[in-house]
Chain A
Amino acid sequence: MEKFLIANTLSYPILSMIMIIPVIGALITLFLKNDTVLKAWGLIVTVATMVISFTLYTAFDASTAKYQFVELRTWFPSVNLDYVVGVDGISVLLVLLTTFIMPLCILCSWNYIKVRMKEFIFVTLLMEAAMIGVFVSLNTVLFYIFWEGMLVPMYLLIAVWGGARRDYASIKFFLYTFVGSIFLLVAVIALYVTTGTFFIPALMEHSYSMNYQLLVFLAFALSFAIKMPVYPLHTWLPAAHVEAPTAGSVILASILLKMGGYGFLRFCLPLAPNATMVCIPYMIAIAVVSIIIGGYLALGQSDIKKLIAYSSVAHMGFVTLGIFLLSSTGIKGAMLQMINHGITTGALFICVGIIYERTHSREIKDNSALGMEMPIYVTFLAIFSLSSFGFPGTNSFVSEFMVLIAAFAKYPLVGGAAIIGAIMAAAYMLRLLQKMIWADSDGHAHHAGHGDDAHGGGHGEEHGAEHHLFDLNLREIGTLGFLMFFVFWVGFNPKPLLNMMDSSVNHLLQQVETGVQKGSLDKVGQVVRVKAESR
């Protein structure tokens, strides 16, 4: 065991704590009554979790690929199942993303949620615990428990506090994800029965036959592909994103989508290396299709939230592409893209939520020419939109650039196709910006002072008098400012984050390579199996 893990050296069990604190906070919520007290309590609990998890960033040892802050407790000895949690370079940033986004979710729901505040805070806090649990579990059953356990709070978030078609969207989300993960359960059990352990690093040590690897890969990949989502399996995403409340959309976009990418890196690649090599052409093809078709679909949207939802499909296509290029730059770019997408798209959904609170419409035509009345808001909107399509200086530029470098290094054609997708991202985001910030309500650009325009100068005054929208208040500025800080910090200084990922990514690539070599030895008929050392 010691060769995989570094036990927790802090004086307190940090990973269990950041999971337990939201749960205890949620249970205490059941006894509170006043709405403001509930919101404040939710904020306190999420901020406390965020502050405690900051130690993960400072105390993380970037030089080793072993799992850190590990806690190991016996749980279910009859089937060799222990409670074991830990983080490595792949998961630590995702845990930090989760804990940093959650306070923002509570903040952006301050005025948005009007009914059942108690249940909302309860469900959100339980959701946080489950999401952190997915990233830190080192045991396939524990991973599955948190993976499935997330479904119920998310379903309730959409079904109770969502928009007009929330019934349809919540059911679609639940059933789609549930059916995907049910085959994951079979794969988990099958792995246990063949190896006798549920412990992930030990599972990675074994080598399996090609057919077995293919089945395991497909079972895991189905679930993660639905979560990512990749092109043909993405149809739950627009419905869920559009109908969810702002906090729900932020959680979905920033964190839930990343679990697909995390799953590929944690399970599919190291457990089934030969199957991965076989499936690479298909996965890269699906990734490129996602990027391009996601872009096309976004170009045609008139609902802002749906546009951002389809842009998420395209961005996660970059993540899939980066992962399956199997190079250090590619995988690091993919992982950084996950973090960046979480920050940027989370911020964009918060922006949409802000404007929805004011105009009660998500259509572009109802939310146009905001530049005149909400200058602070459009500044934030513009910066996050620039970041969304990878403008240099913002965070997404670094990650997309790394993925593109890796793509061009191996398959230039793929790189070319991905570039088209990146250009389309610029197209739809700039179109959105133009319509929302500068265009008039009938869709034309605002010509100040051109009275002899065919459409008349009277439009300007009429438009200005109708809406009277209030600009951002301090809470909203704080939320968006916090995210904008990260946009620029990662954009100009991605080194600390990339360093944290380095060892684990190299270790992962090493695992895949040794696995492939073992597999090819099998085929030649020489030394058949290297028995892994048992724990």
Chain B
Amino acid sequence: MQITQLLPEIALSIMVLVLFATSLGKFKAGTLNLIALALSAIALFAAVAGCGEQGLLFFDTYRVDLLSQIFKIITTLGLFLVISSSSGLRGITENLKAEYYMFLAIGAFGLVSLASSVELLTILMSLEISAFSLYIIIPFRNPDHYRDHLEAAIKYFLFGTIATGLMLFGMSYLFGVTGTTYLAGMAKVLPKLLHTEPLAVVGMILLFCGFFYKLALFPLHFLAPDVYTGAANETTSFIATVPKATAIAVLVRLAHTAGVEVGQLTWVMAVFAVGSMTLGNLSALVQQDLKRLLAYSSIAHAGYVMLGVLSANELGLASVIYYMGGYLLMNLSCFYVIYQLAPSGENLTFEDLKGLYKRSPLLAFVLATGAFGMTGIPPTIGFTGKLLVFTAAIQKGFYALVILGVINAAISAFYYLKLVRASYSQEDEPGENVVLSFPVKILGVFFIAAIILTGVLPQSFIALAKEAVAGML
């Protein structure tokens, strides 16, 4: 075992310890923010530096390969972007800010180790580390404006533990059927068993359920809208993006374990995907609260991503990685705008967006880029991601799924366009201009550039993703 193989984990552990120390003392909010930002930047560098590492650690339960390192980069990037775009933590109660950063870091640590877990109990452990830290920070919201955060916290906690319970049940079945808890061992026997043993299918589905909950996929999506609305803007921006990416990492590994042939599992996942897409898009059409709209849109995107996962060929799994990276960027850019527009961390509706292009052209443009990206309009990463996912699905012959996906993309255009409409509408009394500090402006330009450039020049990302998929398990 070399230290370079565990660089991101070590960096995040240091971050947790330092933030724990800060929570024991009294620090100003500005200092806390700088410390957290610096540490998350170090974690991001550590993840990038450790990108090429390979190895099997801890009795072969912890696998460091290209797939895990890519997702560690995505996770730490998400953490860095969340901390930098939510500078000042306006929505969190003053005396809990230090603990907030600490739990965010613990959550990121759990997610990072989840990306590397290749054994059922390790998966469980990493999932629980990340889940519990996120359960705790949901109610960290300034109580002056809201009471929903406590309801959201209870819902997230209860539903999360139920999902984990389902997952454990599935794990027990799989252990019983295959005789091993190692994914590598299961990969040898599971593809055949999935066609002969109903118990294996049930076990696999229940195992997936734990991750479908994190991904907010139908039928485990129910609490997503309430949780996203009730939690503070900063918390929502984290839980709407980073855990989903890591859930996809595990789903990619599990899909690879289950094999590429179409079977019962594929049918179940197809139904879930279609249900997700349709329900997410149709429900988002009538939303007024922006975070609720983004919650339903994330349910829809989970559906599109499942299309890639269930066509478990090389292009499918690689495009899923690319799509989730893009989705992270686009969703974070929308939450970035929401955060900047809410001076005391309140929830925003379409009313608050009116005349945005006069108040802050940069924010309006970032929102437009993120919204059009999520619709799938070229030349953004959302379009290229959808193109690749649909290509992978058609390669497997799932024409009906793709046509449904495409129709749903057309439906989604309406509510994403509503966001742009609201911000570019002519307003007689637009309100005062939004003043953005220079680092925040740089972040906005970074979002626009990243969304467009990664969409126009996808070759290096896709090549990396394909290599990761090829080298897995």
Q: Which residues of A contact B (CB under 8 A)?
A: 75-79, 116, 119, 141, 144-146, 148-149, 151-152, 155-156, 159-160, 167, 170-171, 174-175, 178-179, 182-183, 185-186, 189-190, 192-193
Contact = CB atoms under 8 A, between A and B. Distances in A.
A152 B406 contact: no
Nearest to B466: A78
A170 to B, nearest CB: 8
A134 to B, nearest CB: 11
Interface stretch (B92-100, B223-231, B324-332, B371-379): B371-379
Contact of A167 (B378, B403, B421, B466): B421
Contacts of A170: 421
A79 B388 contact: yes
Given A79-B315, A189-B402, A152 B377 contact: yes
Contacts of A148: 377-378, 383
B372 A141 contact: no
A143 to B, nearest CB: 10
B403 A186 contact: yes
A253 to B, nearest CB: 23
A152 B420 CA distance: 10
B410 A178 contact: yes
A121 B32 CA distance: 43
A160 B424 contact: yes
8 contacts: A76-B459, A78-B463, A145-B379, A152-B377, A170-B421, A182-B407, A186-B406, A189-B402
A192 to B, nearest CB: 7
B361 interface: yes
A130 B420 CA distance: 20
Contact of B425 (A116, A167, A193): A167
B424 A156 contact: yes
B417 interface: yes
Contacts of A182: 406-407, 409-410
Given A76-B459, A149-B379, A186 B425 contact: no
A186 B407 CA distance: 10
Interface in B405-420: 406-407, 409-410, 413-414, 417, 420
Contacts of B424: 156, 159-160
B383 A145 contact: yes
B391 interface: yes
Size band of the interface chain B makes with A: 35 or more
A193 B463 contact: no
B55 interface: no
Interface string B349-387: 000000001000100000010001001011100010001
A149 B377 contact: yes
Chain A residues touching B, majority SS: helix
B277 to A, nearest CB: 13
Nearest to A118: B361
A175 B394 contact: no
Given A174-B417, A178-B377, A182-B406, 10 more contacts: A148-B377, A149-B378, A159-B425, A167-B425, A171-B421, A174-B413, A175-B417, A182-B410, A190-B394, A190-B399
B40 to A, nearest CB: 30
B395 interface: yes
A119 B421 CA distance: 16
Contacts of B372: 152
Given A149-B377, A152-B377, A185-B406, A78 B387 contact: no
Contacts of B387: 141, 185, 189
B390 interface: yes
Contact of A186 (B318, B379, B390, B462): B390
Contacts of A77: 459
Nearest to B314: A78
A145 B456 CA distance: 10
A189 B368 CA distance: 27
Contacts of A178: 375, 377, 410, 413
Contacts of B459: 75-78
A149 B377 CA distance: 7
B394 A189 contact: yes
A75 B426 CA distance: 40
A19 B472 CA distance: 41
B407 A78 contact: no
A155 B417 CA distance: 10
Contacts of A190: 394, 399
B375 to A, nearest CB: 8
B417 A171 contact: yes
Nearest to B315: A79
B378 A192 contact: no
B458 interface: yes
A532 B285 CA distance: 46
